[in-house]
A = this chain, B = another copy of it.
Amino acid sequence: MKLQLALDEMNLVDALRFTDKVAEYIDIIEIGTPFVMDEGMRGVREFKRFFPDKEVLADLKIMDGGYLEASYAFEAGASYATVCGAADTLTIQGAVKAANDYGKKAVVDMITITDLPKRVAEMEAIGAHILAVHTGADAQQVGREPIEDLRVMKGCAKTAQIAVAGGISSQSIDKYVALKPEIVIVGSAIGHAKNPVAEAKAIKEALL
């Protein structure tokens, strides 16, 4: 299982310095959506330059222009770009095609999708590489978490890898690990920890 660190609200320099501290426990560095909106693809380029041995994910949450937008991420050095499951299937096909053309991967973020088995089947039919179970930040505020959706997704996915995100921390990691997702995404639990290194280490060890 890979550990993906989501960087959302830090500015570029703070995020680079922060990541330096915890990098040994991180497999995938996520340039989060607010980060992309703030800095554009500069965030992806600089992280790939400072951490050439890490994979970088650009959390674009593409909703249209799938090929064009995904190609921006891959041109900038990302190994993964996200597209929303809520987008038109044509858009997701475009992002998947861009990923295949660049030898990279498209991640379909299933945020707000209610009929998961139906959409998982549609996504696998178009060759989506990774499907991400995702309870958004706004939904977490009212107490939702992604564990049940992860159970459903693992039950119906046949070919795609599965990632999971939504308020996961060292306190809750074991129940997610038990369901064997390929990628666990952690943001604020590490980013806002009193001791980020200890938190990243504890989560990484739970994944091994």
Which residues on A are within 8 Å of B, measured CB to CB? 8-9, 33-34, 36-43, 60-61, 63-66, 68-69, 72-73, 84, 86-88, 90-91, 94, 109, 111-112, 134, 136-139, 141-142
Contact = CB atoms under 8 A, between A and B. Distances in A.
Given A88-B136, A91-B136, A138-B94, A112 B63 contact: yes
Number of copies: 2
Given A9-B68, A61-B61, A87-B111, 14 more contacts: A37-B72, A39-B40, A40-B42, A61-B63, A63-B111, A63-B136, A64-B137, A66-B138, A68-B137, A86-B86, A86-B87, A87-B112, A88-B112, A94-B138
B37 A38 contact: no
9 contacts: A33-B64, A33-B69, A36-B37, A63-B136, A64-B111, A64-B137, A65-B137, A68-B137, A86-B87
A69 B36 CA distance: 10
Given A64-B137, A69-B33, A41 B41 contact: no
Contacts of A136: 63-65, 87-88, 91
Contacts of A64: 33, 61, 111, 134, 136-138
Contacts of A9: 68
A88 to B, nearest CB: 5
A139 B60 CA distance: 19
A86 to B, nearest CB: 4
Nearest to A86: B86
A91 B72 CA distance: 26
Given A9-B68, A90-B138, A91-B136, A37 B60 contact: yes
A65 B141 contact: no
A207 to B, nearest CB: 24
A83 B137 CA distance: 15
A33 B63 contact: yes
Nearest to A82: B63
